[in-house]
Structures are given as C-alpha cells and as structure tokens.
Structure 1
Amino acid sequence: MTDTHRNETEAGPSRRDVLAGTAGFMAAVAGLSALASPARAQAAPRPHILYILADDLGFADVGFHGSDIKTPNLDKLAATGATLGQFYTQPMCTPTRAALMTGRYPLRYGLQTGVIPSGASYGLATDEFLLPQALKSVGYSTALIGKWHLGHAKQDFWPRQRGFDYFYGPLVGEIDHYKHEAHGVVDWYRDNKQVVEEGYDTELFGTDAARLIGAHDPKTPLFLYLAFTAPHTPFQAPQAYVDRYPNITDPARRLYAAMISAMDDQIGKVVAALEQRGMRENTLIVFHSDNGGTRSKMFVGEGAFHGELPASNAPYRDGKGTLYEGGTRVAALANWPGRITPGAADGVMHVVDMMPTLARLAGANLDRSKPLDGVDVWSALSSARTSPRDGVVYNVEPTQGAVREGNWKLYWHALLPPKVELYDLAKDPSETTDVAAQHPEKVAALQAHVVDLARTMAPPLFYAAALKAALSAPLSTPTGALYGLGMEDD
C-alpha cells in the first residue's frame, strides 16, 4: 500500500460506541401478501436478495435526502424504488444487526445495551434461529460480505456457523480501513480463516461481492448480506475520493463524505454485476444504515475533533447511541423492478420486520424461531399501503426506555434524576417540544408498557462484560484502557 492509496489526514481516534440501548428498526422487504392466491404465490419466482447495510450513516447524508454528498447509485435505486421515511433501527450497531438476524428485539436475549466489545466472551445466543438459516433451509445460497459484530470469542458465534455459506470481512466492530485491525489485532476473515490482505476495505467488499455474483448460478436464489464498515470511524478514504469535495473545509466532514462516495461507487459496481449476470430484474435490494450518524464526541474519542461532528441526521434530533429519532430513524430504500412501486413508502417499519418479510417472500418457514417482534410489511413496502405496524419499541434497558404507539413517543430516562418526555411525532418529528405535562394519562399508559417490557427482558450481557473488565483490571489502569479489556468503541 502506498501513500497514493491512502489519505494521511485521517480524522483521529475511534469513536466510543459503548453506551446506549437499542430499540430496533422497522424494516422493509417481505412476504407474498401482494399475491392473491396460493397458486399465484407458487408461480412467482423467489427473489434474489441483496441486503446492504451502511455503518453510522447520517439520515441526511445521501443525495436522495438532499445532501451535498454525492450518492448517484443510491439515488437511482431510490428514484426507481421506494424511499422509507419511517424506517427504524436500534441506536447502535450490534443490537440492530441482531434484530435483523432474529426478527426479535435485542432486549429478548441480552443484546439491548452497547455493542459486543473485542474483549467480550459473549455473542448472539446460539439458540436463536437466524434469517440466513431460514433462507438456506429453502434452497438459498447465503453470503455475508462485510461486518458481523454478533460474536467472535468462539466459532459457534461466527457467520459460517450461523447459516452463511460464505463469509468475508471482520468479526468485531470498528477496524482500521486499511490495516484491517482492531486494537492492533488483525480482524479479517475469509470463511473461518484469518487472512492478511492489503486494500481499502470498502473497495474489497464491493469487489468480492461483484465476484461472488459473477460466479453465481442465477437459477439458485441468492441472499447476499453486504455490510459495509463505512462511514464508521476511523475516518479514512482514498485521496481520489477526498478530492471530490474541495468545498468541504472541515477535515472530518470531508473524509466522511469521501467514505460515503466510495461506498456508493461499490454499490454501483455490485448492481452492475447483477445486471451482467441477468439477475437484476428478480433481485430485491434493501439499503439502510445500522443507526443514525454520530453526533456525540463520546462516540468518536476524546480530542478527535475540534470542529463540527461530520454526520447530519436532519431534521431529526441527536444521533447514534440515543433513543431520539436521529439515533434510530435512518436513511432507507427498497428496490425490486416491477414489484415495488416507485415513491415514498412512509409507513412505520422496523428492522425486526425484515425477518418475517423476507422469509415469506422466500417461502421459508419460521416455526423454529422464538416469538417474533417483527411483522410482515411487504404490502406497505411494495405499494405504499398503510403499514400493519402501529408501534415501535426503541429500546428498554435498566437505565432508559422508549416506545412509540401511533404518533405518541415516550422517552423515559430512568437514571437519577429520572425524566419522562412525550412527543407527538405527527406534529413534532424533530422532538423539540416535550408535551408530557399536558398528557399525563398517555404518559402513564406508555410508562406501564415500558415496565411490562422491562419485566420480561433478559439481563444486558454488556453490563456483565464491563463489570468483569473493571474488576479484573489493576487499580492503576487508566479508564480508557478498559476498552481493550472488555469495553470498546465498536
């Protein structure tokens, strides 16, 4: 790797991705409810599925939301498909990915708080039935190219052991985009084997995905989960992409924009590979971020930035790691030529809805799943009909919780001093005016819902890992060093 392949003005240390809870994400993509009869459903071809996840992308930071950041390939998919204006995820990485894989809120199995640190021994429970397992059971070829972050301490947690026929990428969370290392340790795998490779990870992911599609038999349905590490910290990009933004003066924002454009180019390459292989017309493409963009310095490292933080979640409040809309309502789209009506599908959807929606489209049986929180949203996704979902559980954990019913959203800060906030999202989607005092009955009802959920939640696994790290460290250990022991910034 030479200096011409890498920008040496990287914007500082890693973000601290470690607090917060999670709540979910109301996804898109799904069943055959648009088909009137079993005969028609049987005759309809099962789609190839390309599921693309960005990492810490701001809601406003795509061209189809009016950004100055150039995303022509995503813009084309948005213009010829459905933009999802109320698509929700969890506020952080691991919980969102778990919700996608299981169709269940992470509070059900202890992944509702923080992320899985590099020093942790836990992962997504192995008795959970995952989306790739469901699709593989009905003949799909399954592949994950990109970031996993659902367990790495033992192979039982790894993608190849959880239903993926093929895996290429990092197991943990945040990595150096050129060295492919986390905390000085190589985190780069092909299947179950650690490999050492050179190159910018975003470009490696796109190249590998295009290669896989080019070698795929179109007669076999394909599920390709393409999970980019962009634009997550550290902010790094090839100089050619940085040079596209001479008018952005803030160095962090400029690198961040470059990372998004690099990702967009690779998405274009993968879509072109589908077209060349004759698969595009029968491929459902879903794209969204795993959570909102970073708006807090607690997630980017002390002293990392001296100007504005790079991501924009406008018009929504706050960002990654919070239960406000900016942390959980994300940029999203779905595209399937002839099957999804172009336009805005503004119904409420959450990432947990992806499991039942995709499984039904594929004809997969979910009898092995534990009780799902997701619902089939295909009718809303495909033709902008009313979503069957009326509420969302943003997250529930010992320190906080947030739920939505209809247009009412309650955010309960349980730590001392406790505080309850209520918002009418129909009138105030930016959450500028707390109306809890004006609606005590609604507050009481939604608080009761949060308490009911809290009574059933599994203990957060993150707390046990953090406590173990703190107790095992010498008293002289600096607080920041605990990240490498079991609390980190992924």
Structure 2
Amino acid sequence: MTDLRDTAPRGARPSRRDVLAGGGFLAAAAGLSLLASGGRAQAAPRPHILYILADDLGFADLGFQGSDIATPTLDRLAAEGARLRDFYVQPMCTPTRAALMTGRYPLRYGLQTGVIPSGARYGLATDEFPLPLALGEAGYRTALVGKWHLGHADRAYWPRRRGFDSFYGPLVGEIDHFQHTAHGVTDWYRDDAPLEEPGYDTELFGAEAARVIGAHDPDTPLFLYLAFTAPHTPYQAPRSYLDRYAHVADPARRAYAAMITAMDTAIGGVIAALEARGMRENTLVLFHSDNGGTRDAMFAGEGAVSGALPPSNAPLRAGKGTLYEGGTRVVALANWPGRIPPGDVEGVMHVVDMLPTLAGFAGASLERSKPLDGQDMRPMLTAGGAGRSGIVYNVEPTQGAVRAGDWKLVWHATLPPRVELFDLATDPDETTDLAGKYPDKVAELQREIVDLARAMEPPLFYEAALSLTLSAPLSTPGPADPGLGGND
C-alpha cells in the first residue's frame, strides 16, 4: 500500500525546509525583531488559540489527504500551515480528550479504557490541572463550543468547573445531531443550563464559535476549543449537504461525507469571523481527530449501526478502538501565519504534548500540574526541531502498545495472547510482524509495558460497566418466543 505522506498534494509553494532555511522566518518565530528605542529582543505576542477537534474522522477523509470529500477550508489551512504527518492520539474519544486537557496519559488517572458511558457516574479526576484552567490563570478567555465527554453525572466534572468561562453543547459522547438527545434525553447546554433549540449541531457549533469571536475583545487572548460531534454516528446531515453527494450509492457513506463537508463549512465561518475581528493573523489554529475512523461496529457508539462503516483510514491498519496506526495516528494540522512555517512535519507528536506546547506559547504556568507525559513541541513546530523519540499508545489490563524510535510493540495480553513488533520506518501500514525475528526488542518493550501497568490507575470503565450490568432489569423472554416452556 502507498503511504499518503508521499502522495498528498503539496501545492506550488516553498517546502517547509526552504522556509525554515530562511533567517527571516526564524527571526519572526523566535520573536527577535528589535525595538527601535532600546535594541532589545521583543517577545512574540501570545496567540489566540482555536483548537478544533473532529469526532471519529478517518485518516484519509479530507481533501488534502486525497479524498473526494469536499473540504476546501481545511485544505487551505493545511496548504498554508504545517501538516503533522506523525500525530498520535488515544484509540478512543474520552481518553484523547483527557490527554489533551491534562498533558498526561489517561492510564495515570483511570481513563485509559473505553469511553465514559451515558449511564456512568465518573469523570476526569478533579485533582488534575486542566489546560483551560492554566490558560485562564495566564489571562486567557476560555470557551468550549461542542462536545465535552469528560464527565456528566456530577457537576464537579462539567466544563465550567474545569476552567472554561463558557460552554455550549453536549456533555455526553453521542447525540442525535438534530434532536440533541441521548437515549431520548436532551443533552444540550449553555453554560450550566439545559437548552432546547432546533438545528443541526454542526451548524450550531459553527454559529456559536463565530458569535464568541465576534463578541471578544481582541486585546485579550482567547482559547476557543471547538469540539465537533461530526462525523460520529449517527450518520446524519441536512438535505442540502446530502444532495451534494447524491452520486454516492451507499447511504452511510453519503451521510458521512456530507457531515464532513458541513463541518468544513462551519470551520470556514469561524475563520471568517476571526478575519472580520482582526484576530486571524495572531491566531494559532490546530485541527485533528480524536481517534481514527470507525472500522468496527463494536466501537461505533451506543446507537445501532448496520452495514459497512464509511470511514477510511487508508493506508493505515484498522481504526478506532484499536492500538494499530489506523486507530491512533490521525490527520492533523497547525496554522499560525508567520510563526509556523508551511509544509509536512514528519516528527512524532502526541496529543499529550499539546498542554505544555500551548502553555509555552501562552506564557502559562504549569506548576500546579502533576508530572507531565507531554513535551513542549514548539521547537518542532516553529523551527524544525526533532519530534518525540517514543510514545505510549495505551496500557490497560488486557493490552498495551508502545513505540521506541521506529519500533512499535502491540501486546494483546488476553488469552490467547499475541505479541506483534513492527518497524514503522519501513512498514507504516503494519503488515509485517517482526516479533519472531527480534526477540530481544520484544522483551525490552514488554518490560516497558509491564512497568507502566504496575504504575497505572485501575480503569474506571470496568467498575462502571460491571455496576451497570448488575443493576440492569431482569431479562425475560417475549410472549412470542417459542420453546421456552410455554403451553403448546
């Protein structure tokens, strides 16, 4: 299979290496413009931050990744920014969002397994020091527009208790995109108040984000976390977007593509709002998915799905919910005019790196944070520095995966156990298992996983799932079920 890193369109513009080689850009990135009066270095201004998260987006499902799905806004942001070609997240939704908020792997606080189900009562530990709180203490205005999914049953877990000045959207992981309901219950809020309003959630998120920007004082730095529910199941979109893909025979793929284009249109409106407010040139825009596209119905969500699932992670293996590249390596970009040079960034970066990196750009203190797993990746983004030397994909009681350099070990510990070793430099699609050829490397990486497992917190999902199962009502046969002891 062909790696999309080699085939994605690059456009007729200087390469990232060419731009970085120019001293003028490095001076700007380092904030080295001289003051006319004193001749001293002037610090770069703190950026506004627009952090955009897609939900279950396939690795191959944007225009600049070679897809036929129309995404002109994201294509433009990618062409003018840095395409993060080796960007990693957790295999599922809640863990990725927790890693973003804390800069720490979810195994540190029990969120490494599954997602927070609608009936669960746990959330992101309240003794963690989340990103919006750090930025707020540094003088940022902080807003969450969109999906939270880090705790809903106790108000202590809600966004405004975790550092956001405002919140608009759902608390749980999956809602009807038009009705804004989960299991028939409305899950839609403005700040802490339930809200009933009509509309397609993607369009509402875009309009709200634009409203937040339009009402914002540009002299105050803004952190806007825009977390779309698209293109997560259920696959739904307005008729106007569905009609654009009338040629697509599969209805699920048609709706999935329409959802992505609707999201791209909403993002375009948000970028236009930044430009209208005079904020765009000093706004760092980040975009990625929370995990790979869904290829297995077991990981599609709490609603029923049928037939082939439409996301594509080609050429990567598998998808959401797995430790393979298709579940954890996602499409990502960073765009900050004049500060982050355009082009492909091949260095490895993980979502846990976002907290220290954004705190560094913002001048925020992380003294209240627990020990971080994330690294400050500003040198990689702005000046061509090296990426990470290794990452922890995830570790939980049943499985684990780590990367050291180009070596990746995937260990399925449940019976019958299976260990796989891949050289990602030569085999990014994970087609050739080298475990039998390099037993010493296998043993080394297994020791790392065991050490992490010994130190991890027990997964909160297991206790919640067991409690929900044991408290479920009695299952009885329906009146029409034959052969269960009824009268002939």
In structure 2, the partner of 1:446 is: 445
1:437 match: secondary structure: coil
Amino acid at match of 1:293: G
Structure-2 separation of matches of 1:464 and 1:64: 42
Residues 92, 320 of structure 2: 8 Å contact kept: yes
Structure-2 separation of matches of 1:44 and 1:79: 24
When the two structures are superposed, what TM-score results if normalisation uses the length of structure 2?
0.89
**Deviation at 1:475?**
4.0
- Identify the range of structure 1 (420-429 vs 378-387) with the bigger mean alpha-carbon deviation: 378-387
2:346 match: secondary structure: coil
In structure 1, the partner of 2:212 is: 212
In structure 2, the partner of 1:102 is: 102
1:463 match: secondary structure: helix
**Deviation at 1:405?**
0.4
1:382 match: secondary structure: helix
1:45 match: secondary structure: coil
Structure-1 separation of matches of 2:471 and 2:93: 26
Confirm or deny that 1:115 pairs with 2:115.
Answer: yes
Residues 33, 378 of structure 1: 8 Å contact kept: no
Residues 29, 339 of structure 2: 8 Å contact kept: no
TM alignment of 1:264-303, pairs within 5 A? 264-300=264-300
Residues 346, 384 of structure 1: 8 Å contact kept: no
Q: Write the deviation string for residues 198-228 of structure 1: whole angstroms up to 9, x where unpaired.
A: 0000000000000110111000000000000
In structure 2, the partner of 1:25 is: none
Structure-2 separation of matches of 1:477 and 1:408: 51
Structure-1 separation of matches of 2:262 and 2:410: 36
| Aligned pairs, number | 445
Structure 2: gaps spanning 5 or more residues: 1-26, 35-39, 478-488
Structure 1: gaps spanning 5 or more residues: 1-31, 479-490
Q: Write the deviation string for residues 280-312 of structure 1: whole angstroms up to 9, x where unpaired.
A: 000000000000001012233797333x32000
Structure-2 separation of matches of 1:177 and 1:304: 15
In structure 2, the partner of 1:151 is: 151
In structure 1, the partner of 2:457 is: 458
Residues 293, 311 of structure 2: 8 Å contact kept: yes
1:345 match: secondary structure: strand
Q: Write the deviation string for residues 351-396 of structure 1: whole angstroms up to 9, x where unpaired.
A: 0000000001100010000000000111112243321x10010000
Distance 1:446 1:249, change over 3 A: same
Structure-2 separation of matches of 1:341 and 1:262: 28
Structure-1 separation of matches of 2:474 and 2:398: 26
When the two structures are superposed, what TM-score results if normalisation uses the length of structure 1?
0.88
Residues 83, 345 of structure 2: 8 Å contact kept: yes
**Deviation at 1:474?**
3.3
1:85 match: secondary structure: strand
Structure-1 separation of matches of 2:382 and 2:315: 25
In structure 2, the partner of 1:238 is: 238
Amino acid at match of 2:356: P
Confirm or deny that 1:392 pairs with 2:391.
Answer: yes
Residues 46, 221 of structure 2: 8 Å contact kept: yes
In structure 2, the partner of 1:328 is: 328
Confirm or deny that 1:174 pairs with 2:168.
Answer: no
In structure 1, the partner of 2:7 is: none
In structure 2, the partner of 1:3 is: none
TM alignment of 1:363-378, pairs within 5 A? 363-378=363-378
In structure 2, the partner of 1:414 is: 413
Q: Write the deviation string for residues 245-303 of structure 1: whole angstroms up to 9, x where unpaired.
A: 13211110010000000000000000000000000000000000000001012233797
Flag the structure with larger Rg: 2
Residues 292, 320 of structure 1: 8 Å contact kept: yes
In structure 2, the partner of 1:6 is: none
Distance 1:305 1:228, change over 3 A: same
Identity %: 73
Distance 1:429 1:412, change over 3 A: same
Structure-2 separation of matches of 1:50 and 1:265: 16
Q: Write the deviation string for residues 43-102 of structure 1: whole angstroms up to 9, x where unpaired.
A: 311000000000000000000100000100000000000001000000100000000000
Distance 1:242 1:386, change over 3 A: same
Q: Which of 1 and 2 has higher RCO (CA within 8 Å, sep 6+)?
A: 1
In structure 2, the partner of 1:12 is: none
Q: Post-superposition, which runs of at least 4 consecutive aligned residues in structure 1 deviate over 2 A?
A: 32-43, 299-306, 382-385
Structure-2 separation of matches of 1:34 and 1:311: 37
RMSD of aligned Cα (Å): 1.8
